[in-house]
């Protein structure tokens, strides 16, 4: 069993701060915190993903589209799809990848 506070020990900086909360066969759950203006540049990733914004607002690149998400909104992505994140304000995002 693993438990904790998702908002504990957050770091908001110019770059993304990623913490693996759970690593299991078949999936990984990441806590991603980004300071306002911080980016994960668009890139192609070989795995599918789910992103849920817990705090803040961010522009998520998904394929050739950009989607603005805010608290409690999510997006899913297929493997081998372009993806990226830009924080419009200090943001906390949960990412789950296969």
- Residue spans of beta strands (DSSP E) within 12-64: 17-24, 27-34, 39-45, 49-55, 57-62
60 part of a folded domain:
yes
Extract the residue ranges of the chain whose pLDDT is less than 70: none
57 part of a folded domain:
yes
Residue numbers of the domain that contains 80:
27-97
45 part of a folded domain:
yes
The CATH code of the domain that includes 58 is 2.60.120.10
**Domain tally, the chain:** 1
13 part of a folded domain:
no
């Amino acid at each position: 069993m693993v438990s904790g506070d998702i908002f504990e020990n957050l770091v908001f900086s110019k770059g993304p701060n990623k913490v693996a909360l759970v690593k299991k066969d078949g999936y990984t759950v990441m806590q991603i915190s980004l300071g306002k203006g911080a980016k994960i540049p668009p890139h192609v990733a070989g795995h599918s993903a789910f992103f849920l914004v817990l705090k803040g607002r961010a522009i998520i690149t998904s394929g050739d589209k950009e989607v603005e998400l805010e608290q409690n909104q999510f997006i899913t992505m297929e493997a081998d799809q372009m993806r990226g994140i830009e924080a419009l304000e200090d943001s906390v995002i949960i990412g789950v990848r296969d």
